[in-house]
Every structure is written in structure tokens, then in C-alpha cells.
Amino acid sequence: HKITSSCKHEATLSSTNQKAACSRSPGTMPGPYRETDLTEKVEAFLSDLKRGGSGTGPLRGSAETARETTALLRRITAQVRWSSAGDLMEVIRKEGRRMSAAQPSETTVGNMIRRVLKIIREEYARSRGSSEEADQQESLHKLLTSGGLSEENFRQYFTALKANVIEAINELLTELEGTTDNIAMQALEHIHSNEVIMTIGRSRTVEAFLKDAARKRKFHVIVAECAPFCQGHEMATSLSKDGIETTVITDAAIFAVMSRVNKVIIGTQTVLANGGLRAVNGTHTLALAAKHHSTPLIVCAPMFKLSPQFPNEEDTFHKFVSPHEVLPFTEGEILSKVNVHCPVFDYVPPELITLFISNIGGHAPSYIYRLMSELYHPEDHEL
Amino acid sequence: MADSGVSGGADKKDNIEREKIEGKELTKEEKQRLRKEKKQQKKGKEKKDASLPQVSVAETAAPASQLKAERRARQEAERTSKQSKKGDTGQPATTSKPKIPPNELQPVVKRLPEHIQVDDPDVLKKLAKKLERQQIPRRLDYGYKVSLFSHLLQYSRKAPLTQQLSIPSAVIHPAIVRLGLQYSQGIVAGSNARSIALLHAFKQVISDYTTPSNEELSRDLVNKLKPYISFLNQCRPLSASMGNAIKYIKKEISNIPSQFKEDDAKKKLLNCIECFIEEKIVLAAKAIAKSSIEKINDGDVILVYGCSSLVNHILCEAFEKGRKFRVIVVDSRPRLEGREALRRLVQKGISCTYVLISAVSYILPEVSKVFLGAHALLANGYVMSRVGTSQIALVAKAFNVPVLVCCETYKFCERVQTDSFVSNELDDPDDLIVTRKGETQLKDWQQVPRLGLLNLVYDVTPPDFVDLVITDLGMIPCTSVPVVLRVKNVDLL
């Protein structure tokens, strides 16, 4: 079957979740669906996710994944039959679990699901007439006095709820479309002329950021190529075609060159709940070198990359791809006697980061927990 | 004899030109004549200096020192004229033998090597003249150079210097030509390998050498070696270890007493070279291995970077002595030297892991020690080594893993450096190009106007990242390098 066969091609370490998702047959969809093309769309999305995140640079960027997830959730909201908010949340949670399990390292999927769940909660609360603030806050006082938080089971039926939720999801979609531009608009506040900026690998956000600044200022960019996938090459050709003076260096030269660098600007795959990063491998070295030379490290990350995950779980944090990238099969006999690792991500602790630039402005890493509480409801942290 | 050369200039000149074209080596007299002519041309343009009567005082027979005498005489004359202007009671300006004007201060900065002054056009002109005199072709720069490194040379591996030599070249010994080619193509790489190859080539040169009729071996051989060294420098800039080896050989040659017969002298020299290799490289490696094995415990996980012959030797010895450990080999593009180290270690039976340098922060929590090799140890305690070494030391420091550097004393050098920019080597930038999934992103990087590729070869590690340096003189901290240098200099004297 298509899903089980594509499982075999994956070499991800977090295999337990993956295998569980694979073994479930597609027929066990909860709730009656009026149209089967919704199921088809969901299946297509799932198999795309499984195939797309092989670590060689996503076939789709995170922004597109976020947009597609949100569009799919909007479709589910519109087409699935549900009577109360609680039902809808159940449906979305179930679908969300399947989608996150398809590609655990693609955290934007989970983030969007949590955003939509929060939207549903808000709309429900608004329809009920109570203010959202009072409901969401879990102060100590409330814990003691109400004795058992939010006995909400979301069972009330509101006619306008569906329309409201869909409208709110549309707003979310517009916000998603403008994230890269919003970040790029802040570029001139952070880059002055004749600077030397260093970056690693390929990030569409950083590319847009630098190109926007290059329209008005002249500066020099050094790109670390980020072996073994060498996405830095693509980034360098794209930047230099836009007229930015670019140099490509190998990963080994990062510390050697760092003393002449004024700023380090990077993108990331995920922003973790403690303000740390899960970024492409080599970023931790870059951050350490920047710290040693007291060079500011700026992370350009839109809000949909913020995830309530913490970096504690050792075996689910890392993702590995085929060691053929590192030591090709042409090396011959020694292959059977050698362990080869090819991790895709790196953890960067928040102490090494100076600033986060997101579509809603700039923040310090210590502020990330607060942003998270505004975006996601604590009960949704575990889908 | 030298003076008559000017008058018979025309025929002699044609002779010289013809011989140049044929590639034969100019004899000493002809070279001397060329030099004289050029000097005469220059003198004709200069203003005639009135106080030049003492030129004729110089009467030494050997033609080489005649120019030196002229220069000295001129300096003396200028000094006397200055003194007489001041109104001092002028001492007799010259005795019959011209004196060398006293130098109170030894020049602190030795002459800067030309390969780090490429952005200075005067230096380039001087270098071109020198190479022309020695009849060595000059290697040209290749590709767009990153502005921070415009003072360094950048060659392409596809244009080796030997293509510009005529075959057979009578100027350069064939062993040296082969060596130069091996250096420039990267066939012989690594500081120990390069030094040993150089010394073997010099052994061959010495055994093929015959002293010309009225020359002394000690002086002539040194002069013969100079163009060879220039040639090798053009193929690939000399390493610190090679520099020290050459210094040693030159000293040994000039110390040969003049009464030695040629065969004895050659035998002595070959013996000296053998001794050098044996003592400074082979025995040193054994001594370092002995001290390092004390630092390797059972159950250790040791991280090594790239391919250092010394570190590989240490690990193989430790394994033979029965220590139980495993090795993590870290490698980096574009040289991928770690694969060679991996092969050697796996052949011995050591269990190995292999990663690229970008995965170092993933693998470091498992590591208990880091062993690094060095290309040279600088006098301010910095370790100059393959690019990427400082990065590994940095990350190891962040994870509190001890870093041990292994280096023989013949690689210690008196230079000081604080960053990896001023004195470095740029390798062929085309090495960075890679084809993945059928696409070569950087294929036309030369056409894109603002794109530069940087392929550094060396970098310097600050001493606070290094915990211990293991040498054949013992285990020392990084800051004791100048002490060792001083002790060595005293020994040599």
C-alpha cells in the first residue's frame, strides 16, 4: 500500500510514532464525511508531508506547509458535520495527530492546528458572551476559588459559530501570507552600510530580509555552505544575482572568518518554547563562534514557527537522514565497519541568541514564553 | 675579466640569448655579465656621484664580491661626505679593505615572504625579476579573490607550474620538478609528508651534484638550492616545517669545512639529512606516542579531525598496546581528508564513527577527549592547523572536553599571528563546487560578478582553547612554546 511503502524509505529515528501512523489504515476516519474528496485531499497532504521532509531542504518551505495546513483545516471545518465546538475540536485534534505523526519534524503543522484550536475556543467564548481573558487566564486565585478549571465541555450550539470560525481562519491565512514581507520590512532597522553579515544554509525569510535591505544599503554577505546538502550555494547564487556582494565559505572556516563579521542573521526550522532553536546542523557552532567574538546573533522567524515543544526529549529531537550523504557507497569495504551519522538539526540554547525578528516585531529570547501563551492554549500543548 | 665583458658585449649577448632559449643553464660568468650590464644601464641614468673614486679600491679577485665591494664603498663615501659636511674631524673614510657599516639594530621584522604581499605591485615586480633571473616560470592568479584576502595568492589546480617549463629542464633537477608537481596537485599533503618528501628530493639533488671547477661546495650548493626553493614556493607556499628543514640543511652545508673532498662532503650531508628525518620526525613520533598513551584510558571516546599522520600513529600505537577506546573522525569539505584517516584506523581494527564538521555539536556530548594535529606552533602560543581545527576546539571548550594538540618540535616557528587572515593559503576555489541531485549550483560562479568562493587552508587556534601540547620534549602548555624555541636556538648555536 502506498503509505506503508513510503514508510520504508524513511530513515527517521522517531520511528515509533511514524510506524503507528503508517499501520493505521486510511479507512478509520472519525465522523461521517459528506464528500470523499475531502478524504482524498487529506491523504494527499499526508503523503506529501511524508515524502517532502527528507531533510535535503524541504520540497516545500515551512510557510507553504503552514498555509496548506490551515487551508485544509478550514476545509474540514466547512465540510465535516459537527454540532458543537467540542465536536469540531475533537475532529481537528484527531486529524492533527495524524498530520503531525506523518512528519514529526515538521512542527509548523502542529503549530497551525493549535492556532486553529485556540481560534475555536475564542470564538466559542465570544459567542457565549463571556470575555476571553477571564476564561483563558489560569491564575492561582481562580484555581483556588473555582476548584476545577474550565468545566467547559464546549457542548453548546451556536449558529454563527461556524461562520465566525471560518472567518477567523481566513484572517489567519492572510496573516500567514504576509509574514515574509513583514519581516523583510524591518531589515533596514538592523543592517547598516558596509556591514559584513554571515548566514548559514538557505532560509527564504533571511533571503527576503537581505534582499530588502540591499535595495538601500551596500553590505557584504558571507554564506556558510552547510554540508552535506550545501543549500548555502543556492542562497549565495540568489543573493549575488540581486547585486549583493557574496562569499561562499566551507563549514570548517566559520570560526576562522567570524572575527570580521559584524552580525549573524539566520533562519530556523522551529523556535522552541524556552527560546532555543531547532535549526539546520552547524548552527550551534555558528552561534558559539558568534558568542566568542561577541557578535550579535539575529534569528528571523515568523510566528508560525513557534512551537510549545521543549528540547528535553533526546530521541525525538533529532532527525537523521541517509548516511550516504556523508560517506557515499563508493567508499567500499570500510562502510560495514564504520558508524556514520548524518543529523539534520541542531539545538541552539537561548543564551546564544540576541534577538528574534518575527512578523510582529523584534523580541528577546526571554519573551518567547509570553508570546506562546498568547498564541496557544495550554491544554492544546499535547494534541 | 669582468670589465672586458662590457666591450665584447654584443656577441656574448647573443650567446646568452640563444642559450636561454635552449634552456641551458647560464654559466656563472654569463649571469655575472647580465647583471653587470643591467647595472651599467641603471648607472648611466643616475646622476654621476662625485665621491666615487674609491670604487677602484676594491680589489678582491672573486667576481661575486666585486659588486658588494662597490656598494660598500659607496656607502662609506656617502658617510664621509656627510661627516665632512657636518664639520667633524673626518676619520679616514676607508681603509684598504672596505668595512661593513655597523648595524646596531638587527632588523626585527624579517623580510616578509612574498606570498602574503600579493597586493603590493612593487613586491610582485621584484618577485618577477627574481624568478626571471633564476629562470623559473611564474604561476598566475586564478579567479575572483575575496577582498579580505587580496594579499594572498590563489592558484588553480588545473594550471600546474610545470606546464610552463620546457622539457627537459636543465635549470631544475627532475626530482624537484616532480616534487613541485606533487605539491601543487595535492598528491603529497600534510606537513610531515611534505617535509620528508622535500628532504628525500634534496638528498637526490646532493648526490647528483658536482662542484664546478673554481667553486667551493659550501657556497655553491647553497646557491644551487635557491632556485629550487623558489620553484617549490611557486608550486605551493612552503610550510613552517619545510622552512625549518631548509634552514637546517643550509646551515649544515655552509658548515662543511673547505678541506673536505667532494665525496666526503656529500656523504656527510646525506648523513645529516638522514639524521634529521630520523631524530626530528620518526623518533619524535615515537616519543610523542609514548607520552600520549598515558593520556588514553580504557573506555575513552576520542575525537580526531582530518588526517594527521602523528595522531593516527598515536592511536594505532595505543591500540596495539591494548587500550580499549573508540574513535570519532570528523571531516570537512572540500578536502575530505578524514576518509584517509578512517581507512587507516579501520584497517588496524579500531572501531570508528564518521561525521562531518557540521555535526560536531551533535556528537560532542559522547566524546571524552579531542586529539588534534598541528601544522605549526607559533611563538605566541597559537596553533596553526588545518581550517576547522579552531572550530572543533571552540565547541569542545563549550562542552568542557579536553583538547590535546600533538606536535613535533621541528614545527615550532618564530612567527606570531592572531588571526587567520594575514598569513594563510588560498586553495583552488573550484573545489567548492559540488553536484547534488544532478544540479551544480555554482557551476558558473566566475560569470556572476559579485560571487566569490573562499577555500582557506589553515586557521589559528587561540591558546585558551588548547589544554595541553604533547611534544617530543614532553607535555607543555601552549604558552611555553617560546621557551622551547629559545632553548632550541641556544642548542643550534
Angstrom distance (rounded) from CA B413 to CA A304: 54
Least confident of A233-237, B62-66, B220-224, B383-387: B62-66
| pLDDT range class, residue A54, cuts 50, 70, 90 | very low
Mean pLDDT over residues B186-202, rounded?
91
B4 pLDDT above the threshold of 60: no
E strand or H helix that includes residue B122: helix B121-133
Sign for the pseudo-dihedral over CA of A237, A239, A245, A251: negative
Task: Report the pLDDT value the prediction gives residue A152, as an integer from 0 to 100.
Answer: 63
Least confident of A146-155, A318-327, B39-48, B249-258: A146-155
Is the CB of B434 less than 8 angstroms away from the CB of A346? no
Contact A304, A270 (CB under 8 A): no
Q: Which amino acid is at B78?
A: E
Least confident of A285-289, B125-129, B194-198: B125-129
ipTM: 0.82
A352 at B interface, C-beta within 8 A: no
Task: Report the pLDDT value the prediction gives residue A257, as an integer from 0 to 100.
Answer: 93
| Angle (nearest 5°) at CA A215 between A209 and A216 | 105
Burial class for B411, CB neighbours closer than 10 Å (0-12, 13-18, 19+):
buried
Task: Report the pLDDT value the prediction gives residue B480, as an integer from 0 to 100.
Answer: 86
Chain B nearest-CA residue for A200:
B358
List pLDDT tens digits, range A317-335.
Answer: 888 888 888 888 887 788 8
List pLDDT tens digits, range B404-442.
Answer: 999 999 999 888 889 888 888 888 888 888 888 777 888
Task: Report the pLDDT value the prediction gives residue B367, as an integer from 0 to 100.
Answer: 96
Mean pLDDT over residues B387-392, rounded?
95
Of residues A105 and A370, more confidently modeled: A370
Angstrom distance (rounded) from CA A56 to CA A325: 10
Q: Where are the alpha helices (DSSP H) in B23-63?
A: 28-45
β-bridge partners, A345:
A280
Task: Report the pLDDT value the prediction gives residue A32, as an integer from 0 to 100.
Answer: 52
B328 pLDDT above the threshold of 80: yes
A56 pLDDT above the threshold of 50: no
Contact A288, A124 (CB under 8 A): no
| Residues with Cβ within 8 Å of residue A97, at least 6 apart in sequence | A383
Is the CB of B453 less than 8 angstroms away from the CB of A248? yes
β-bridge partners, B474:
B471
Burial class for B482, CB neighbours closer than 10 Å (0-12, 13-18, 19+):
middle
Is the CB of B388 less than 8 angstroms away from the CB of A228? no
Cell matching residue B408: 613535533
Angstrom distance (rounded) from CA B446 to CA B477: 45
Among A237, A241, A250, which would you mutate to test the B interface (most chain B Cβ atoms within 10 Å of its Cβ)?
A: A250
Angstrom distance (rounded) from CA B470 to CA B374: 11
B97 pLDDT above the threshold of 50: no
Mean pLDDT over residues A250-271, rounded?
94
Residue among A177, A168, A71 nearest A119 (CA) = A168
Contact A383, A91 (CB under 8 A): no
Angstrom distance (rounded) from CA B352 to CA A35: 56
Angstrom distance (rounded) from CA B134 to CA B226: 8
Angstrom distance (rounded) from CA A172 to CA A115: 9
Task: Report the pLDDT value the prediction gives residue B64, as an integer from 0 to 100.
Answer: 57
List pLDDT tens digits, range B228-263.
Answer: 998 888 888 888 889 999 999 999 988 888 888 888
Of residues A138 and A1, more confidently modeled: A138
Is the CB of B395 less than 8 angstroms away from the CB of A284? yes
Task: Report the pLDDT value the prediction gives residue B288, as an integer from 0 to 100.
Answer: 95
| pLDDT range class, residue B31, cuts 50, 70, 90 | low
B88 pLDDT above the threshold of 50: no
Mean pLDDT over residues A257-286, rounded?
93
Least confident of B139-143, B233-237, B379-383: B139-143
Q: B110-145 burial by CB neighbour count: b if 16+ within 10 A, else e? A: eeeebbbbbeeeebeeebeeebeebbbbebeebebb
Angstrom distance (rounded) from CA B55 to CA B74: 7
Chain B hits for A341, CB-CB cut-off 8 Å, are: 353-355, 359, 362-363
Cell matching residue B38: 643591467
B133 pLDDT above the threshold of 70: yes
Is the CB of A289 less than 8 angstroms away from the CB of B437? no
Task: Report the pLDDT value the prediction gives residue A106, as an integer from 0 to 100.
Answer: 84
Mean pLDDT of all residues in chain A? Answer: 82
Count of CB atoms within 10 A of residue B476's CB? 17
Least confident of A299-313, B6-20, B252-266: B6-20
| Closest partner CB to A281 (pick from B358, B388, B448) | B358
E strand or H helix that includes residue A316: helix A314-317
The number of angstroms, rounded, from the C-alpha of B52 to the middle of its chain's C-alpha atoms is: 40
Chain A hits for B449, CB-CB cut-off 8 Å, are: 240
Angstrom distance (rounded) from CA A237 to CA B165: 38
Of residues A307 and A23, more confidently modeled: A307
Mean pLDDT over residues B35-39, rounded?
76
Contact B28, B49 (CB under 8 A): no
Contact B385, B461 (CB under 8 A): yes
A172 pLDDT above the threshold of 50: yes
Task: Report the pLDDT value the prediction gives residue B66, as an integer from 0 to 100.
Answer: 66
Least confident of A2-6, A275-279, A338-342: A2-6
Chain B hits for A288, CB-CB cut-off 8 Å, are: 361, 394-395, 398
Of residues B439 and A294, more confidently modeled: A294
- B325-331 β-sheet, strand order: A338-340, B352-356, B325-331, B300-305, B369-373, B403-406, B468-471, B474-476
Task: Report the pLDDT value the prediction gives residue A367, as an integer from 0 to 100.
Answer: 93
Task: Report the pLDDT value the prediction gives residue B329, as an integer from 0 to 100.
Answer: 96
| Angle (nearest 5°) at CA B63 between B60 and B65 | 60
Task: Report the pLDDT value the prediction gives residue B219, as an integer from 0 to 100.
Answer: 85
β-bridge partners, B409:
none
| Residues with Cβ within 8 Å of residue B464, at least 6 apart in sequence | B397
| Closest partner CB to A288 (pick from B334, B394, B442) | B394
Task: Report the pLDDT value the prediction gives residue B100, as an integer from 0 to 100.
Answer: 44
B159 pLDDT above the threshold of 80: no
Of residues A347 and A59, more confidently modeled: A347
Burial class for B328, CB neighbours closer than 10 Å (0-12, 13-18, 19+):
buried
HEC letters along B224-269: HHHHHHHHHHHHCCCCHHHHHHHHHHHHHHHCCCCCCCHHHHHHHH
A58 at B interface, C-beta within 8 A: no
Cell matching residue B487: 632553548
Task: Report the pLDDT value the prediction gives residue B59, as an integer from 0 to 100.
Answer: 42
A248 pLDDT above the threshold of 90: yes
| Residues with Cβ within 8 Å of residue A201, at least 6 apart in sequence | A224, A226, A229, A231, A232, A235, A266, A267, A280, A282, A283
| pLDDT range class, residue B356, cuts 50, 70, 90 | very high
Task: Report the pLDDT value the prediction gives residue B366, as an integer from 0 to 100.
Answer: 92
Contact A184, A211 (CB under 8 A): yes
Task: Report the pLDDT value the prediction gives residue B12, as an integer from 0 to 100.
Answer: 54
Angstrom distance (rounded) from CA A14 to CA A16: 6
Sign for the pseudo-dihedral over CA of B161, B162, B166, B168: positive
- Residue written as grid cell 620518526: B282
| pLDDT range class, residue A137, cuts 50, 70, 90 | low
Chain B hits for A254, CB-CB cut-off 8 Å, are: 391
Of these ranges, A114-128, A190-204, B52-66, the one predicted with the greatest mean pLDDT is A190-204
| pLDDT range class, residue B362, cuts 50, 70, 90 | very high
Mean pLDDT over residues B267-278, rounded?
92
